[in-house]
Chains A and B, each alone.
Chain A
């Protein structure tokens, strides 16, 4: 199972020199299975650049297949969908799993008042939609599990766990744990994973307002209690520059060392594909 980040930023893209090393495109993470299975976690603006790379493969000939897993339908997780040329080529197959009403919501996103596509019906790679549930989904050699959490403000997100043989990756973003009981569900969901990608836009002290996110501290506690090998901060706040992220990582790595924890810590960065 290979992993590549194409968009790591939350809320709004941040083009600019001070965001280049980690990246300024919004949420899009691509997992490739050993058998070539393609699973895309969220389709923020990072999906535009990723989609362009597909033209040289089967997608360029209208024979591509991908599974898209949506956590929820806020802008920074869906707005990249209509832009790559490959989604406008008949024959390509997009299987989209998301919350209830995802199809209707994406149809609104592509309505003529917002988009020159004039509605989902005009995306030639006619996507097929499935409402995500907690029942496992098999994608070739990968097994996908999902679990619902709160995003605060009454909104919901779905977390995903991808497993391939002994390897496992968990993706929890835009979560706001409303109680310790609920956070313990995340601990169970992430239990023993090789990699936990977790939204971490703000520390508890930075989070003066409720932006619908848990704190960085929650991500770390969850990773430690779940016994994951590596935690990757994701959904960086738009105001967080590369240097800020370096400092943040250094601080929390120091804290982990001081606690004698073996948890490896990184911040998601747009860049090359890595083995999980």
Chain B
């Protein structure tokens, strides 16, 4: 299994000198597992992957599975700039959350059509197929390559993905709040800084947390939302993101091998991220490795 990180940033892409190392492109991670070629999210990092694929042959040819956690802008911004969508040989299978309100295809088509962009999915040369998943789904992408989903705690819902093959397990949770303060769902939540006291919501949160730990169980790599510092978390409406401590709690409970801090806040400089990385490494239980995702990071096993 080979994992390459093309975009690490959350919320919006940032082009700044102070962020060159960890990178300013938004969420995009490539996974090669068995015969499957997988892209997790289509943030602006996707553009770089598209360029790289022009230079490198890929096992499995031009067939790509794109797993979208949710369609907030930072997770789809790279889509129109992914060169393979303009090539007739490309077969792109796009997976995302099933919603009652709107189809995945209509959501993405709306984003890339007038008056927002002069593109539209029908004009693309590549073959696109859309598949909608629930938040407890399991599919086999290629022989021996399993994908499972769980529900992340994020405004208007988001998925988390586990990709499992005999050569390794990677779990991707780029956007989730913790599971003890506030439950995000269809409705807009205005958080006043106090944990919810509603027993039903607390129960739902507890079950979501269990499912998240199960999703991450024994993973080689857990790529997890660590947008906020603890101080920011208490100060701002957190819009469904976690701190590095909260990420580490899940990683330890799930007994993962390495935690990759992800979805960096757009204000976080390289220097600050390096410090967060050192602090978390010092605090991690023996046996758990912790690193912060950077653009160009390669994780491999097998």
A residues sitting closer than 8 Å to B (CB atoms) are: 9, 11-17, 19-20, 23-25, 45, 48-49, 52, 72-75, 79-80, 83, 101, 105, 108-109, 112-116, 118, 122, 151-155, 212, 238, 270
Contacts and interface: CB of A to CB of B under 8 A. Distances in A.
Contact of A15 (B14, B72, B111): B14
B233 interface: no
B207 interface: no
Interface stretch (B113-121, B197-205, B213-221, B286-294): B113-121
B57 to A, nearest CB: 22
Contacts of A16: 15, 20, 24
Q: Is the interface of B mostly helix, strand, loop or mixed?
A: loop
B13 A13 contact: yes
Contacts, number: 114
B84 interface: no
A41 to B, nearest CB: 18
Interface of B: 9, 11-17, 19-20, 23-25, 44, 47, 71-73, 77-78, 80-81, 99, 101-102, 107, 110-111, 114-118, 154-156, 186, 188, 239-240, 266-267, 295
11 contacts: A12-B80, A13-B25, A15-B23, A15-B295, A20-B17, A25-B15, A48-B14, A108-B116, A116-B72, A116-B156, A155-B115
Nearest to A100: B115
Contacts of A13: 13-15, 24-25, 44
A-side interface mostly = loop
Contacts of B17: 20
B14 A45 contact: yes
Contacts of A15: 9, 13-16, 19-20, 23-25, 44, 295
Contacts of A118: 155-156, 188
B116 A113 contact: no
A113 B107 contact: yes
B16 A113 contact: no
A74 B117 contact: yes
Contact of A12 (B44, B71, B102, B156): B44
A116 B15 contact: no
- Nearest first, the 9 A-B pairs at minimum CB distance are A15-B24, A24-B15, A118-B188, A112-B156, A13-B13, A116-B155, A15-B15, A116-B239, A153-B118
Nearest to B24: A15
Contacts of A112: 155-156, 186, 188
A109 B116 contact: yes
Given A12-B44, A12-B47, A80-B12, A155 B81 contact: no
Contacts of A72: 115
A75 B115 contact: no
Given A113-B102, A116-B156, A25 B14 contact: yes
Contact of B72 (A108, A114, A151, A155): A114
B73 A114 contact: yes
A74 B266 contact: no
A11 B44 CA distance: 11
Interface centre among A19, A23, A49 (most CB of B within 10 A): A49
Contacts of B267: 52
A16 B239 CA distance: 27
A14 B45 CA distance: 9
A104 to B, nearest CB: 9
Contacts of A11: 81
Contacts of B77: 12, 75, 79
Contacts of B44: 12-13, 15
B275 to A, nearest CB: 21
Nearest to A13: B13
A122 B19 CA distance: 30
Contacts of A116: 72, 154-156, 239-240
B116 A75 contact: yes
A102 to B, nearest CB: 9
B72 A115 contact: yes
Nearest to A110: B73
Contacts of A114: 71-73, 107, 111
Nearest to B7: A15
Interface centre among A79, A112, A154 (most CB of B within 10 A): A112
Given A12-B47, A122-B188, A113 B25 contact: no
B19 A79 contact: no
B115 A105 contact: yes
Contacts of A151: 118
Contacts of A17: 20
A153 B114 CA distance: 10
